[in-house]
Amino acid sequence: MIRVNTKTHPYNVLFGHSFIREAFTSLQDVTRTADRIFVLTDENVWAAQGERFTAAFPLAFDVFVLPGGEACKSFEQYNACQTFLLEQRATRKSLIIAFGGGAVGDLSGFVAATYMRGIPFIQVPTTILAHDSAVGGKTAINHPLGKNMIGAFYQPQAVVYDIAFLETLPEQEIRSGMTEVIKHALISDEAWLRQLLDRSIYDYSAEELSHHLQRGTQVKADIVAEDETEQSVRKYLNLGHTYGHAIEAASGYGNLSHGESVMIGLVYCLLLSERYGEITRDDTLAVYNYAVSQRYPFDAVAKFDFDTLLGYMQKDKKAEYGELQFVLLRKIGEPFVQKMDVAECRAIDEALRQLISEGSQ
């Protein structure tokens, strides 16, 4: 168990294997005050895991099934969820369970934050990526002009992380989730990073994966406790996200996974960090070569010119007064925020394309 001590309210992240019944029995302080329980999930998760969840969940609930993946984070699906809750006569005492990956969690959290000005919700993640997205209270939907642009900071009552749900993940979801584990290592601990780079992301046992996910969750929990609404150090969790979100948005949400896009962004930021800190080309290549060996799709960069990506980066929530801001590394484990001008961003974009070109020859 990991405690997330936010100023809004503290809550626990529970880890286990096939322990849904046990976990929710321990959360009776939250569930017993609920007049109704509504599970929001997506069609892929429900088809794969719905029977297991229903058999294990100890209470009665109603379910609303959304489109799979990033497609659920839209105005249309947000409205559909609100309509469902209103038609079901959900009240301020109703409880939402977000059962799915990061997209379901982001949408469900925003629905909970805004239905009747806020009702409680619990995250039940089913992907590796969600060890990051389910913790910390960032909720949002996408806009065609930018990712996660409409949302709220709204903390869950708890996070129930059942590792058993990860056993059927497709390869793309493994890549997507392990990017955030690697990001957590980059901003916190060089020795841990080297340990991760020595193993294939596809070879972890359930116990080993749980260990790394708990470690990543602890990194995030410590930062969120210090800065809940991203005024200072929480920005460090965005390492790789500015360029990565631009690639993801330009590709069309759902074509590249979030984590695949962020991995591209991590290498971009390492190239930038070579100019501003002690990061060496060997550091950058260690991450890049590892990512290539794990089949991350760096060829996506060639599909867009820099000016297209720049348009998305300029809409980034971390931009201030028209200036781009990037999270960089002085060295592994020491992140900082740096303002960047467009010319330098363009030069690093060219350097990334050159690196990818050389790697593919």
Q: Mark whether 117 is an active-site residue.
A: yes
Q: Mark whether 70 is an active-site residue.
A: no
Q: Exactly one of 131, 183, 212, 241 is catalytic; which is it?
A: 241
Q: Mark whether 215 is an active-site residue.
A: no
Is-contact 178 186, C-beta < 8 A?
no
Is-contact 318 240, C-beta < 8 A?
no
Q: Mark whether 230 is an active-site residue.
A: yes
Whose tokens are 């998305």? That residue is 312
Q: Exactly one of 183, 184, 215, 258 is catalytic; which is it?
A: 258
Is-contact 65 46, C-beta < 8 A?
yes
Q: How far apart are CA 70 and CA 141, in angstroms?
A: 9
Q: Mark whether 180 is an active-site residue.
A: yes
At 26 the three-state DSSP class reads helix
Q: Exactly one of 44, 70, 73, 138 is catalytic; which is it?
A: 138
Is-contact 291 298, C-beta < 8 A?
yes
Supply the DSSP symbol for 308. Answer: H
Q: Mark whether 211 is an active-site residue.
A: no
Is-contact 116 91, C-beta < 8 A?
yes
Q: Mark whether 138 is an active-site residue.
A: yes
Q: Mark whether 147 is an active-site residue.
A: no
Q: Mark whether 171 is an active-site residue.
A: no
Task: Choose among 133, 137, 129: nearest CA to 112.
Answer: 137
Q: Mark whether 258 is an active-site residue.
A: yes
Neighbours of 153 (CB within 10 A): 18
Q: Exactly one of 131, 175, 234, 317 is catalytic; which is it?
A: 234
Q: Exactly one of 70, 173, 228, 230 is catalytic; which is it?
A: 230
Q: Exactly one of 44, 131, 173, 180 is catalytic; which is it?
A: 180
Q: Exactly one of 32, 87, 89, 117 is catalytic; which is it?
A: 117
Q: Exactly one of 73, 175, 220, 317 is catalytic; which is it?
A: 220
Q: How far apart are CA 180 and CA 311, in angstroms?
A: 25
Catalytic residues: 117, 138, 180, 220, 230, 234, 238, 241, 245, 258
